[in-house]
Amino acid sequence: MSGSKGLTRQQMADRVAREFQDGWIVNLGVGIPTMCSNTDIGDRDITYHSENGVIGYGPVAAEGYEDLNLVNAGGQNVTLKPGAAVVHHADSFGVIRGGHIDATVMGAYQVSMTGDFANWKLKGQKGGGIGGAMDLAACAKRVFIILEHVTRDGSPRLVAACDLPVTARGVVTLVATNYGLFEPTGTGFRLLEIAPGLTVEDIRATTGGALEVLDGLQTIAVAG
């Protein structure tokens, strides 16, 4: 996004993807989270699950090689990795609800210091877009959120309490923004790593709740 400070969208995704451990089953939400599958994380074996029942999808299909009956959660025509399987929707959400997803990565409008997050409904909106977000949020072993650090008018998205309707409460374990990597502590956010070009004071000024800073704070390694 032009004009925003710190990490690019792909760099935020890269930082989260480096958390994935060998053998994990991971669900990537629409938007920036999808970009986690582009990150080079060596020979770690990750199985990507999509809510429409595709278990073990690979990269987006090359132009001219799309199977129009094979999509990921974002509706992109993806490929299958060797060993993939397809199940129906009730079974796919059995995978989710049953606690078989090691990590889900989602976008959000807001994350609170108690680990609540909001991503399905704007203020004053009638209806909303929940999709599979509430199921994933309630049931995945880890919930990772990627979002821009501030709104377009400069308000914090990391807040003391969400003022938008929440998707789930107390579930967020890790947050990557263009400013840094954070974890909700209950009374604020702990800054785990900082983006190149940002200062702790920049972040303190744009973050809701108390900001703790990890001892020996490292700068996020950026590829290329």
Chain contacts with another protein (rule: CB under 8 A): 30-31, 50-54, 66-71, 75-77, 80, 86-90, 92-93, 96-97, 121-122, 125-135, 138-139, 165-170
SS3 66: coil
CA distance 24 to 26: 6
Q: Is the CB of 122 or the CB of 200 nearer to another protein?
A: 122
- 139 backbone dihedrals φ, ψ, rounded to 5°: -125, -15
CA distance 18 to 20: 5
Give 35's DSSP letter: G
Q: How many residues does the chain have?
A: 224
Count how many Cα atoms sit within 13 Å of the Cα of residue 179 in the half-sphere of its side chain. Answer: 23
Find out whether 46 and 24 touch, Cβ atoms under 8 Å. Answer: yes
Q: Is the CB of 149 or the CB of 192 nearer to another protein?
A: 149
| Sign, CA torsion 22/50/99/32 | positive
Q: Rounded to the nearest whole angstrom, what is the least distance from the CB of residue 197 to another protein in the complex? A: 23
Q: Rounded to the nearest whole angstrom, what is the least distance from the CB of residue 18 to another protein in the complex? A: 24
Q: Rounded to the nearest whole angstrom, what is the least distance from the CB of residue 30 to another protein in the complex? A: 6
DSSP secondary structure letters along 139-190: HSS-EEEE--SB-TTS-BSEESS-SSPPSBSS-EEEEE-SSEEEEE-SSEEE
Q: Is the CB of 71 or the CB of 222 nearer to another protein?
A: 71
Q: Rounded to the nearest whole angstrom, what is the least distance from the CB of residue 91 to another protein in the complex? A: 9
Q: Is the CB of 115 or the CB of 180 nearer to another protein?
A: 115
Q: Which residues are catalytic?
A: 51
> Whose CA is closest to 103, among 19, 197, 192?
19
Q: Is the CB of 146 or the CB of 211 nearer to another protein?
A: 146
Q: Rounded to the nearest whole angstrom, what is the least distance from the CB of residue 21 to another protein in the complex? A: 24
